[in-house]
Every structure is written in C-alpha cells, then in structure tokens.
Chain A
Amino acid sequence: EAGVTQFPSHSVIEKGQTVTLRCDPISGHDNLYWYRRVMGKEIKFLLHFVKESKQDESGMPNNRFLAERTGGTYSTLKVQPAELEDSGVYFCASSQGYGKTQYFGPGTRLLVL
C-alpha cells in the first residue's frame, strides 16, 4: 500500500513568488492534515480536512496560505506571496478517522530567499 506522498520534495523561491505544495494521502483516508516545522521549532498544525471540507484551519498563519482538497482526494497548499518566514518543512499526514494514527509524508522543504 502506498504511503502519503508529497510534491515537490524541495522548493527554493524568492520572496513575493507563489508556491503550491501537493499532498496525496493514503487511499481511503478521509482525514488529511497539513503541518509545518520551522527551523529549531516543533511540528505545528496548520489545518485539517475531512474529505473536501475544512474541519479546522486554526493553525494557518495568515491569508497568504490557501489549502484546497477538491474531490476529497489530493490536497494543495498554496503560499502567495511567499515571505522569508514561510521557510520550513511542510508535512502532510492522513488518517482513517478522528483521533486515529496519522501517517506522514516525507515533507516539502521550502526555502524563501
């Protein structure tokens, strides 16, 4: 069974540009989560989808971040325009249900110059 996949693995962009990250969850997992780890800090929650609906987006830093999950399958996280402080590793996770084990993807390493 394929795990959670993320694309790209790395992205280097300039301040002010736009970047879109993609996450493909484990097949059959309705719950999809985005997390972020900035340098030296712990992994922090960004938002949670159940199918195509946003259940909790309390961790989204500001309105420069837009997450979508059209059709309830893969998800995208767009940062527009990117700022220096957006640099970090963005992880996606999926689970079979609320409070169940979350399985993580390898992450996308974003560097904003």
Chain B
Amino acid sequence: EDQVTQSPEALRLQEGESSSLNCSYTVSGLRGLFWYRQDPGKGPEFLFTLYSAGEEKEKERLKATLTKKESFLHITAPKPEDSATYLCAVPYGQNFVFGPGTRLSVLP
C-alpha cells in the first residue's frame, strides 16, 4: 500500500515565526496531493490540491508546493488562528490515504 508520512508530528511557533510542514509519499502515478486543515472536534477542511511537480498554490498565509516525492506547506507569519492539525492525503484506488498529520500551535 502507498505510504504517506508527515513531519514534524507537532510544531509550536511564536506568532509571526514562519516555518514549513512536510508530507512525503510513495505512490506510483500520483493523481494529486491534497492538503486539509482539521480543527478539534471538526472534520477536515479542504485547503489545496497539487497535481504536478513544481506546482504551487497559495491561500492567505499558506503556500503549498509539490516535488516528485514530497510536498511542503509553508506558513508565513502565522497567527494563533492558524493553530490546527494539517493533514495531507493522496488518492489510492478510489479513496484517499491520509498522513498522520502535523499538530501546529501558534502562540501569541
């Protein structure tokens, strides 16, 4: 089965301190890589889809990039409201395989 790993497992940042989250995958014939944000007690909320190496997507303080074997979610000048678990997923057959997530805490 294809594997999806994420690092770090948890990350604590001060407000304004930029950083990056990593999602690594082993898959043949990538059909997209999806990033989600999950807040406590809620379902995953869709952020981005990336389809090919070199592609980038941006939304507010977030930018997602994709290479042949991994994706990065860059967070620029984060705010406390960016605190959440960030999940990546890749299609496997007709469903998704999720990574374990990175728990991000942004302290004021």
Please encode chain B, from 23 to 49, with 1 for each CB lying within 8 Å of some chain A CB and 0 for all others: 000000001101010000111111001
Q: Which residues of A17-51 have CB atoms within 8 Å of chain B's CB atoms?
A: 33, 35, 41-45, 48
Cα distance A98–B49 when bound, in Å? Answer: 14
- When distances are taken between beta carbons in the complex, the residues of chain B under 8 Å from A102 are 34, 46, 96
Interface status of B78 (Cβ within 8 A of chain A): no
Interface status of A55 (Cβ within 8 A of chain B): yes
Name the segment of A67-75, A79-87, A104-112 touching the other chain: A104-112
Cα distance A6–B95 when bound, in Å? Answer: 19
- On chain B, the number of residues with a Cβ less than 8 Å from chain A's Cβ atoms is 24
Given known A-B contacts A42-B100, A42-B101, A104 and B94 have beta carbons under 8 A apart: no
Cα distance A104–B36 when bound, in Å? Answer: 10
- When distances are taken between beta carbons in the complex, the residues of chain A under 8 Å from B87 are 43
Interface status of A14 (Cβ within 8 A of chain B): no
Chain A's interface size range is 20 to 34
- When distances are taken between beta carbons in the complex, the residues of chain B under 8 Å from A93 are 43
- When distances are taken between beta carbons in the complex, the residues of chain B under 8 Å from A44 are 98
Check B98–A91 contact: CB distance below 8 A.
Answer: no
- When distances are taken between beta carbons in the complex, the residues of chain A under 8 Å from B44 are 43, 91, 104
Interface status of A61 (Cβ within 8 A of chain B): no
Q: Give the interface of B toward A (CB within 8 A).
A: 31-32, 34, 36, 41-46, 49, 87, 89, 91-101
Selected A-B contacts with CB under 8 Å, 12 pairs: A35-B96, A35-B98, A43-B44, A43-B98, A45-B96, A98-B94, A99-B31, A99-B94, A101-B34, A104-B46, A106-B41, A106-B43
Q: Give the interface of A toward B (CB within 8 A).
A: 4, 6, 33, 35, 41-45, 48, 55-56, 58-59, 91, 93, 98-99, 101-107
